[in-house]
Amino acid sequence: MTIALIDGNNFYAACEQSIDPSLVDQPLVVLSNNDGCIISRNAEAKAFGIPMGAPFFKVRTKLKQYGVKIRSSNYALYGDMSERFMNLIKNYCEELEIYSIDEAFVNIKRPMNCNLHPWAKELRTHIYQNLSLPIAIGIGATKTQAKLANYLAKKVADTAGIFDLEISKHQEDWLESIAVENVWGIGHKMAQWCRLRGINNALQLRDAPSHELKAKLGITGIRLQNELKGVRCIPFAKYNKAKKETCVSRSFNKPITTMDELRQAISSYAVRASEKLRKQNQVAGIITIFTRTSLHKATFYSKSASKRLKPHSNDTSILLNASLALTPEIFKQNLPLIKAGVIMQDLQEDKYLQLHLFETYNSQSTIQRKVLMQTIDNLNQRYGSNTVRWTAYGTSPTWSMRRKYLSPSATTRLTDIPIVIS
């Protein structure tokens, strides 16, 4: 078996372009939630030297000057496009592991002549014809090799978005061409450490003394090195693994200073987190809420508070009450809070709900609660989120996300379907 990593090029920007023909061939950037910073750029925008992750307010003038189009994050759109993307890939491989919203690892068999190019080419065409999304395909003996191959498929001219590192006659040369910071699993800190030791590229990392890597990076270092050599250490996860925690957090549109606002925000995140749990068929054993001031100010404040839930639950009322009870513990007077969130932890599958030996339970009301939650979820799913809502988070929040350049939910909401005038 061989591994391929398939991903969408500039995925968010490409999704925006696929629903709005006026964006084609135009430089385009997509902003993070709250229109904070740049998280996706198409090739035309990259050509202007607009860096990834740049705070929007710092590059705003430049964007205007170059006539770059701007979109706020539209996760309803990207999530739906991702689902379509993965479903198309499924027909082209033996096993699929969805790694992120725009990336998937697949297991494939090499044909007799070992050449996977025709397969890759066909898949690329198929995706483009169906979704107008350009993709890159990297092939390798291990996940890490596939990742590097994918990187090369995008960087090296003349590859047409496909690169097979496993059977390349010049594998070592290619590894040498990849800077150490571009290796999957090597972040900012580790790259610094590598550079200090003269480990500058993927080849040098592969051949570095193992005991030094072990000492610094632990078991992950040894794994990484073996993966570079072609020895599989990171397993292929065919099935969606159950989440270990689930978090809902947001930055505010502007700093908040009152307990009332914080309560509203926390409430709305707790409601959303409960929905997520039910969708994942999970119940939480611990709920944590947190808030903080800006990282970029001299006085930094950050506080969290947790509560154990007995028994585990995904009932909105229970999680809402727990988070509201915790809110006074994290609130501090006269501080400009810019972000808050709710984290659900110690997650279990809801069908194996563990009850407590010395508590009494009313199974009738438990079932009724479950049906109630289901009904609310169904109504919100069918008629739009917030059709049925909890009053705890108010009707017109002053703190909600800024999304000034939002595109329509063209693939998930009937009223937003694009209209073609011929």
Partner DNA sequence: TCTGGGGTCCTAGGACCC
Closer residue to DNA (CB): 144 or 411: 144
What string marks each residue from 103 to 132 as x (binds DNA by CB under 7 A) or -?
x-----------------------------
Share in percent of the chain as helix, strand, coil (round to 5): 45, 20, 35
- 37 binds DNA per the rule CB under 7 A: yes
Q: Kindly state the smallest distance separating residue 184's Cβ from DNA, in Å.
A: 5
User: Among residues 21, 111, 187, 384, which is the contact residue for DNA, using CB under 7 A?
Assistant: 187
- 101 binds DNA per the rule CB under 7 A: yes
Which residues, numbered 231-290, are part of the site for DNA (CB under 7 A)? 241, 243-251, 254-255, 276
Cα–Cα dist 145/226, whole Å:
10
Angle subtended by helix axes 188-196 and 210-217, to nearest 10? 140
**Stretch of 20-28, 171-179, 180-188, 369-377 contacting DNA, by CB under 7 A:** 180-188
User: Among residues 9, 18, 20, 36, which is the contact residue for DNA, using CB under 7 A?
Assistant: 36
- 356 binds DNA per the rule CB under 7 A: no
Closer residue to DNA (CB): 203 or 217: 217
- 407 binds DNA per the rule CB under 7 A: no
Phi, psi of 278 (to 5 degrees): -65, -35
In a 3-state reduction of DSSP, which class is residue 415?
Answer: helix
Cα–Cα dist 129/116, whole Å:
20
User: Among residues 48, 99, 390, 405, which is the contact residue for DNA, using CB under 7 A?
Assistant: 99
- 79 binds DNA per the rule CB under 7 A: no
- 296 binds DNA per the rule CB under 7 A: yes
375: Cβ–Cβ under 8 A, 6 or more apart, which residues? Answer: none
Q: Kindly state the smallest distance separating residue 39's Cβ from DNA, in Å.
A: 5
Q: How far is CA 312 from the centre of its chain?
A: 26
- 328 binds DNA per the rule CB under 7 A: no
Q: Kindly state the smallest distance separating residue 241's Cβ from DNA, in Å.
A: 7
Q: Kindly state the smallest distance separating residue 338's Cβ from DNA, in Å.
A: 5
Q: Kindly state the smallest distance separating residue 251's Cβ from DNA, in Å.
A: 4
User: Among residues 119, 163, 174, 184, which is the contact residue for DNA, using CB under 7 A?
Assistant: 184
- 34 binds DNA per the rule CB under 7 A: yes
Nearest residue to 409 via CA among 69, 35, 78, 84: 78
Nearest residue to 2 via CA among 123, 126, 137, 202: 137
Side chain identity at residue 166, one-letter code:
E
Please give the torsion angle defined by the CA atoms of residues 45, 49, 52 and 54, in that order, rounded to the nearest 10 degrees. Answer: -110
Work out the number of other CB atoms within 10 angstroms of the CB of residue 296: 8
In a 3-state reduction of DSSP, which class is residue 282?
Answer: strand
Q: Kindly state the smallest distance separating residue 37's Cβ from DNA, in Å.
A: 5
Q: Are 132 and 18 in contact (CB under 8 A)?
A: yes
Residue in the structure block whose two tokens are 């450490």: 193
Q: Kindly state the smallest distance separating residue 304's Cβ from DNA, in Å.
A: 9
In a 3-state reduction of DSSP, which class is residue 411?
Answer: coil
Closer residue to DNA (CB): 366 or 380: 380
Q: Kindly state the smallest distance separating residue 321's Cβ from DNA, in Å.
A: 21
68: Cβ–Cβ under 8 A, 6 or more apart, which residues? Answer: 26, 27, 28, 29, 45, 48, 50, 62
- 348 binds DNA per the rule CB under 7 A: no
- 218 binds DNA per the rule CB under 7 A: yes
| Cβ contacts of 145-148, under 8 Å, gap ≥ 24 | 145/3, 145/227, 145/228, 145/230, 146/3, 146/4, 146/5, 146/105, 147/5, 147/184, 148/174, 148/175, 148/178, 148/182, 148/183, 148/184, 148/202
**Stretch of 77-85, 203-211, 257-265, 338-346 contacting DNA, by CB under 7 A:** 338-346
User: Among residues 114, 156, 219, 367, which is the contact residue for DNA, using CB under 7 A?
Assistant: 219
User: Where do contacts with DNA occur on this chain (CB under 7 A)?
Assistant: 32-34, 36-37, 39, 53, 55-57, 99-103, 147, 183-191, 218-220, 241, 243-251, 254-255, 276, 294, 296, 338-339, 341, 401
